[in-house]
Amino acid sequence: MAKLRSLHIFDSICQFGSITEASQHIHVSQPAMTQSLLKLERMLGVKLFVRSQRMIMTDVGKLFHKRVRSGMLRLEEAVLKHGSPQVQSNPHLYRQISDSQLTALHAVLEMNSFKAAAESLNKTTSTVHRNFRSLEVLLEQKLADTRPNQIRANAEGEAFYALSKLALREFRQAQSDVEAWKGNFDEAFTVGALPLVQSSILPRALLAFAQEFPQVTVSVVDGTYASMVRQMQRGEIDYVIGALRQSLMSDSIEQFPLFDDALIIVARIGHPLSKLKQITLRDLAAYPWVMPRTASPSRAYFDRFYQSLNRPSHLQCPIETGSFGVLRCILQESDRLGIISAQQATYELQRSILVKLDFPLENSTRAIGVANRSGWFPSPPQSRFLELLGQRQ
């Protein structure tokens, strides 16, 4: 990745349209700025400006700057929100942060130890300690609390860590955008997958995407919605796919729909209710259930539906799980019933592993889509992957 100093110089030239004006603004000599820009262009293998009386960005220069500016805004936000009150009055202080300071910060807060961080970076402990503390001095803000044998991020440190990680993610993506512009699609991105899309929708999209972009690496992680949103806010995940939420965890998160999906009731093949037509609530109340994980959209629906069954409290209570694999095995080995997304159960229904019961769940349709960071814009491969998810059939 390009050095922060080089990116700051490039960003300033873009903003002022002149090396002379940018030089006066950020207090770097014109020869140093010119050399930095030439080095950046050589590294990227493109011309970022047309040199004339003004510095006019080329098309690829505009593409690169859009992503770099996004990263700078994240870094600026980190300083203005999580530095000391005195520091927050200086809107340009973020330009003084160095690569070595951020590298030390991230390693220390991830390892909870100066020694372990130094070993992971192949640096001396004193070097990592000095870089970490110099960032605290610059921000006039403690970022971590020292305890016996460990160091832990405090609230300001956690927030600064997340925003600075996100800034670095944007800077790396800026270089991938340039490579894509040159026709080299070799980037990597990470998708957070909620259970609903894991069994059929996501695998099909991944296979189709791999045919179109064989050199792009897609990593899939799973977890709870809350945990993956936190990872997304740190730039560790690019977007989360699943049922959209009625209330978002943060105003820094946006979401948009891809398609609609409905809930169905499923049971094992040969279940007594699978032979019935026009199943009633009384029929359903005679059997124990498996319920979705707490705080999931389908759980809210299940709770309302289960209450309508009026099952006596002395009967077997529902088993809670967010794992589709666990749900499937429980249903196969018992007469329990479950509520699940129709899309999620596609594979099991087509292969007669489970059966859909003849009881329509009214008003169970919900939007399936993508949650992403506010202001996020996908790369061409990421956009195509989202298109393939929408073409789920």
Domain containing 117 equals 4-162
Q: What is the DSSP string of 272-285?
A: GGGG-SS--HHHHH
What is the pLDDT at residue 197? 87
Q: What's the length of the chain?
A: 393
- Within a 13 Å sphere around the CA of 146, how many CA atoms are in the beta-carbon half? 5
pLDDT of 249 reads 66
Summarize pLDDT for 320-363 with one digit per residue, the tens: 998 889 999 999 999 999 999 988 898 899 999 999 999 999 99
Give the model confidence (pLDDT) of 117-139 as tens digits.
999 999 999 999 999 999 999 99
pLDDT value at residue 186: 87
User: Does residue 105 lie in a domain region?
Assistant: yes
Contact 379, 209 (CB under 8 A): no
233 and 339 inside one domain: no
Same domain, yes or no: 158 and 30: yes
pLDDT tens-digit profile of 373-384? 988 889 999 999
Same domain, 251 and 233: yes
Instruction: Please tell me the distance from the alpha carbon of residue 224 to that of residue 226, in angstroms, as a whole number.
Output: 5
Contacts of 350 (CB under 8 A, 6+ apart): none
Same domain, 334 and 316: yes
Q: Which has the closest alpha carbon to 298: 371, 246, 254?
A: 246
> Each residue of 199-249: pLDDT tens digit?
888 999 999 999 999 999 999 999 888 899 999 999 999 999 998 887 766
- What does the mean pLDDT of the chain come to? 93
Co-location of 142 and 73 in the same domain:
yes
DSSP 293: P
Q: Between residues 267 and 1, which one has the greater pLDDT?
A: 267
Residues 379 and 234 grouped into a single domain: yes
φ/ψ of 363, rounded to 5, equals 55, 35
357, 377 Cβ separation under 8 angstroms = no
Phi-psi map region of 310: left, alpha, beta (phi>0 left; psi -120 to 50 alpha)? left
- Angle at which helix 30-44 crosses helix 19-26, to 10 degrees, equals 110
- Tell me the C-alpha distance between 347 and 365, whole Å: 20
- Please give the share of the chain, as a percent, with pLDDT higher than 90: 77
In a domain, 179, yes or no: no
State CA 103 to chain mean position distance: 21
Share of the chain above pLDDT 70, in %: 99
328: CATH: 3.40.190.10
In this structure, the answer to whether residues 13 and 125 fall within a common structural domain is yes
Cα-based distances in Å from 111 to 136, 355, 369: 18, 48, 34
pLDDT for 40-92, tens place per residue? Answer: 999 999 999 998 889 999 999 999 999 999 999 999 999 999 988 888 888 88
Q: Is 130 exposed, middle or buried (0-12, 13-18, 19+ CB in 10 A)?
A: middle
In sequence order, the 6+-apart residues with CB closer than 8 A to the CB of 253 are 229, 232, 233, 371, 372, 373, 374
Q: Is residue 182 part of a domain?
A: no
Sign of torsion, CA 345 349 354 360?
positive
Q: How far is CA 373 from CA 53, 166, 218, 233, in A?
A: 38, 10, 18, 7
Q: Best-predicted range by mean pLDDT among 84-93, 111-120, 309-318?
A: 111-120
* CATH number of the domain encompassing residue 9: 1.10.10.10
Q: Residue 237 carries which DSSP code? A: -
Beta bridge partners of 318: none
Confirm if 370 and 253 have CB atoms less than 8 A apart.
no
| Residue 393: per-residue pLDDT | 46
Cβ atoms of residues 165 and 235 within 8 Å: yes
- List for the chain the helix, strand, coil content (%; round to 5): 50, 15, 30
Determine the 3-state secondary structure of 345 from DSSP: coil
Question: Which amino acid is residue 233, in one-letter code?
Answer: Q
> Is pLDDT above 60 for 392?
no
What's the total number of domains in the chain? 3
Full-model pTM: 0.84
327-to-291, 350, 365 alpha-carbon distances in Å: 9, 17, 21
> Does residue 318 surpass a pLDDT of 90?
yes
Strand residues in 105-261 grouped as ranges (E): 144-147, 150-153, 188-193, 217-221, 239-243, 253-261
Residues 169-189 have a mean pLDDT of 94
Q: Is residue 176 part of a domain?
A: no
